[in-house]
Amino acid sequence: MLKDFKNFIIKGNAFDMAVGIILGGAFGLVVKSLVDNVMMPIIGGAFKLPDFSQMYYAMDGGSYENLKAAQEAGPTVAYGLFINNTINLLIVGFALFVMVKYIEKATKKKEEEKPAPAPPKQEVLLEEIRDLLKK
């Protein structure tokens, strides 16, 4: 049983999946930083807001200094965080789409480059016999 587990782990699929998960987590952090620290301040500046993550609606109707204070006072609808996460999702989705398209194109090109397999000897002999009979 231990040998089977070792073979499973050593196989390319399990290892590739583990690498993909680790890289996906790191990629997600980079995209989150891009959205939170670069894009959202620019977009927020266009709407005269310093940070979308501070956009909220306090359910009690009160006015608070920031989102944290509003959440401590009662229920809030933090729609700014939703906007940040939606933009994050769109960027990650687009990046994955581009990567998958690139991989599909590279795979397709490799398949086109492969020479056609040689026909079996038996088939070659039958074709030669057919050609001789035609003469």
User: pLDDT by residue (tens digit) across 94-111?
Assistant: 888 888 898 888 888 777
User: Rounded distance, CA 22 to CA 77, Å?
Assistant: 32
Residues in the chain, how many? Answer: 135
CATH topology of domain 2-134: 1.10.1200
Output the pLDDT for position 75: 93
Output the pLDDT for position 57: 92
Output the pLDDT for position 7: 73
pTM of the model: 0.56
Output the pLDDT for position 50: 63
Output the pLDDT for position 52: 77
Tokens of 13: 């699929």
Output the pLDDT for position 12: 62
Q: In the chain, which residues have pLDDT < 70?
A: 9, 12, 49-51
Output the pLDDT for position 49: 66
Q: Side chain identity at 47, as an amino acid letter?
A: F
